[in-house]
Structure 1
Amino acid sequence: MDAQHEVEQVAGRARVAARALALATRARKDAALHAMAEQLLEREAEVLAANTEDVARAEAAATDPGIVDRLRLTGERLAGIAQGLREVAGLADPVGEVVRGSTLANGLELRQVRVPFGVVGMIYEARPNVTADAAGICLKSGNAALLRGSSSARSSNAAIVEVLREAIASTGLPADAVQLVPGETHDSVKALMRARGHVDVLIPRGGAGLIRSVVEESTVPVIETGVGNCHVYVDRAADLGKALAVVLNAKTHRTSVCNAAESLLVHAEVAEQFVPRVVAALQEAGVLVHGDATFAAHDGVVPATEEDHATEYLALEISAAVVPDLDAALEHVRRYSSGHSDAILTEDQGAARRFVAEVDSAAVLVNASTRFTDGGEFGFGAEIGISTQKLHARGPMGLPEMTSTKYVVIGDGHTR
């Protein structure tokens, strides 16, 4: 059986499951989510054993330590995944929410209501936690999930999906609400991308290459989640103590995530004071600085190339430059930012307003770390990813963003 036929078969089963999910009550969906969380914890040994296989293969292949960290599960991380499912259960159900409604002049009642997409495909790299997160968010929003993780996490993903499917079925919902896309070669990925009519929307999560490939090659509608070349700009009116703390948090709190800072800009008027301090603090934290001439004058800083300023490192590395003014900072951000999250540190409200108005990113932060661009931190409770596109959804995508809408029109024999 070829890959396209295999994908269409599982998509067909997902379509049947999606019809049941669309009609499921919140109580039934929440019961399934709690069962999923409980089963993951009860079968922790099984899941962690499968994950150990994946980690061992990755380490044997000399995989980048940052990728291995994203791949690795621990008891604590699994408990966090289970807690995330419980938190999704505690969120409001978006399905059926009335977005807007009115009675028209002719007496027709008009309502725009939220409805599930139907079948959601996910293509993602390394992180096995995405398997459970995506399954939970899709189920709560009434969608069936077709999951295609990377081959590096195949044992972990298979174990997690088996647990989740059994938990879902135990509550009376269809196990096919969550399925792994069959196959380990790129043919199965291509088949999922070309399953238009079988899959309603596709969401890629991973590096720039993966996202670009899915966006450019897919015939299924794609919601583009973000590569994060995130900037922190230290303005001349910044509180330098606050600025130092924010830069360190944005870069080092967790390096392997898309909202970690990758680029640092410093206003020339505070460079003499701030650059030595920030270089020393970053180096103490193990960060390699790729800097312009001002930064590179310090020991251990390597000269920055054009490519460095455009790079999402996902590691203890950062590009850095001194800019003569706010205009130059804005131009640098426009040129190199991926449109994910960019921050200004300043006590000048005028400069802050300009930065907010002129930076065209999914999230623009003032005097705060880029690490706050997150569905949980924003109070959404959960996210499927952070969208950097402008259609349908932008920024952290919570449960409402995993729905579309339809119009319900009620009349009494009305004719036009």
Structure 2
Amino acid sequence: MTVGDDRVPDAAVAVGGTWSSVRSLDDFATLRTNGPDSSPHWWPEIGPLGNPGSFSFAHRMRRVGPITVLDADFHDDVWVNGGETRPHYHVTLPVAPASTAVIDEVSVAVQPGSVAVYRPEGQAGVDRYVGRLLAVMIDRHAVEDALADALGRSITSQIDFAPLMRTATPEVRSWITIVSEFSEQLFRPHSVLNRPMVGMPFAEGLVRGLLLAADHSYRASLEGAAAEPPPGVIRAAIEVIEAEADRPLTVSALAQRSYVSVRSLQHGFQRHVGVTPMAYLRQVRLRRAHRDLLEADPSTVTVASVAYRWGFTNLGRFAAAHAARYQEPPLKTLQRNAHSSGNPSPIPSDISQLRDDGRGSDGPSLFVHEVRPEHR
């Protein structure tokens, strides 16, 4: 692979962005102490296995919320010593030939297509590595808080993740896809991930995806049935979404404000509304984006600017969702305003379309979600 271009091996996670070079051990010592994002917590000890004069690698690093992503390409064989403790959970996706990782003093053969997981406590390192890797470092508190939110109880010790995630499982493959999309956007200089409304929910999804993909002793509890919250909790969460759809809402923030676990909130939404909290939020944002398109001046506003304002990062998916909901592409909605006058008709609030069916808490559904067409 040529450093500086975006061509990567087949096993790699696709990313884009600008690279920096480390050409000597002195360069690396400076990087660890003086460079941007160069806290020793984020840079373990790294040294050459051969001639010290040949030590060099290229790298790029970005951070969103509690997640730091490092993309590195080592030009010659190196060893890595992560020490006994780290302030994060560290997941490495290797794209080089087989290497040997040391996790809690146990050597683990890491093959291309497998993913190593390092916990915050315990010896971590790699005896030999050459080539490219992608490292995802998630602040310890973020992972453990996400697990506590999901379970509805405190986590008092580090999560006992298994040392390897095998990409043969669909859950791990799905999580790697999330990492790929996250990294691809993260390293772009003008990425919408830099906007909290987009970046924070995406980062939270990556953290929760890790909890569902990796093996650990809490996995069965996460997959078990969740307690169902009372209907008032769901109504209150919907009111928050309706009032604050333009803010970086996450499912954990909604659960905390509703005084229930994440899993309970998700279960309640699925039963009473028919969608997840985040899917409902996307519906509300789509409605607000449609309203903005109807009211905008097409000579000064673009579909992309409206989509990004409401947290839609993929314009193709936004256009498809808009067409499915309003029976026309968003560009046509925007352009219609150039040939008409007057204000658009009022758009109904989704919260008003959720009604109590009168069956009480034992009924099969307390709310009916009736999406009325808003196409004009």
Q: TM-score, normalised by structure 1?
A: 0.23
Greater RCO between the two (CA within 8 Å, min separation 6)?
1
Q: TM-score, normalised by structure 2?
A: 0.25
Give the structure with the larger helix fraction. Answer: 1
